[in-house]
Amino acid sequence: MRPRTRSHALYCSTRCRVAAHRENTIPRQMRTHNRWINHDGEKRPINPRTGRLASSTNPDTWSTYAQARSTRRPLGYVLGDGIGCIDLDHCIHADGTLTPAAQTIVNFYPHNWIEISPSGYGLHIWGYATPQAGFKREWHGQMVEFYSQGRYITITGRTYQHGALEKL
What confidence score (pLDDT) does residue 113 get? 97
Confidence of residue 42 (pLDDT cuts 50, 70, 90): confident
**DSSP-based three-state secondary structure for 21:** helix
Average confidence (pLDDT) over 51-62 = 96
Task: Assess whether pLDDT exceeds 90 at residue 6.
Answer: no
Q: Which pTM does this prediction carry?
A: 0.85
CA 106/CA 64 separation, integer angstroms: 29
Q: For residue range 136-163, what is the model confidence (pLDDT) as tens digits?
A: 999 999 999 999 999 999 999 999 999 9
- Domain extents for the chain? 79-168
Counting beta carbons within 10 angstroms of the beta carbon of residue 95, is it exposed (0 to 12), middle (13 to 18) or buried (19 or more)? exposed
